[in-house]
Amino acid sequence: MDAENPEARAQYAQLPDIVCYSDTSSWNIPWKLNLTPWNKWAYNPTLREAIEDSVIEYPKGRDKRALVPGCGEGHDVIYIASTLGIPTTGLDLSPTAVERASSLLETTPEVPKDLINLKVEDFFSLKPEGEADKYDLIQDYTLFISIHPSQRLEWGRQMAALTKQGGYLITVVFPIDPKTDTGPPWYVRPNHYDEPLAGCFRKVVDKAPMKLPPGWPEGRQHLLVWQRL
């Protein structure tokens, strides 16, 4: 959906009444009601810009691992697995979102299905048991603004715990809108990622992306890529 159109705006305005950060099961409600204004019905072109228009050598191949927490319908999961040939896990709190991601996977041709693992799980419950259990690449598109701001430091600790040394974290910052005290989506600016990731990651990309979902205005997204120290 065009992020600027009145229908999308109206849907965003309803989310804080439907999703409550203290009740993680409430994330299933917008998916059941089809109240998902963030949905692009395709992978995010900014993710493509991060991976394909870059000098960074992203991990490739079957011996690496990628994670997309808060994957929703799974478009970005499919894009990462297909482009990098890397086993990719998509997880989401919402069973309905994961069901839709599974259907999308089944019906999308020429996708390396054996590389993709989709599951209903809370990002914060993941506990890597050793380096092999960590990820070479993680992508966060709007998980950060879906959790309550008081959880952002914990988000950063979890990203650090889950990323292999030298691995990458791609954060697509969205929506960059005027300040509100309600959410989701919770108020965000690119510098809000600095403190949670400080000391464990270095920022290697910081740019206004050129590639945006169709119809989306410039200035509402920002691309940050981080490397685990």
Q: Which residues bind ligand SAM (CB under 6 A)?
A: 27, 38-39, 69-73, 76, 91-94, 97, 122-124, 141-143, 146-147
Our CB check for ligand SAM shows the closer of 69 and 209 to be 69
Our CB check for ligand SAM shows the closer of 92 and 136 to be 92
Contact (Cβ atoms closer than 8 angstroms) between residue 12 and residue 220: no
* Angstrom distance (rounded) from CA 177 to CA 170: 20
Cα dihedral: 97, 103, 109, 114 (round 10)? 80
Reduce the DSSP state of residue 62 to 3 states and report it: coil
Smallest gap from Cβ 114 to ligand SAM, in A, equals: 23
Our CB check for ligand SAM shows the closer of 7 and 166 to be 7
Reduce the DSSP state of residue 206 to 3 states and report it: strand
Smallest gap from Cβ 79 to ligand SAM, in A, equals: 11
Smallest gap from Cβ 52 to ligand SAM, in A, equals: 18
Our CB check for ligand SAM shows the closer of 86 and 93 to be 93
Smallest gap from Cβ 147 to ligand SAM, in A, equals: 6
Question: Is the dihedral angle over the CA atoms 83, 84, 87, 88 positive or is it negative?
Answer: negative
Closest to 144 in 3D by CA, of 194, 102, 178 = 194
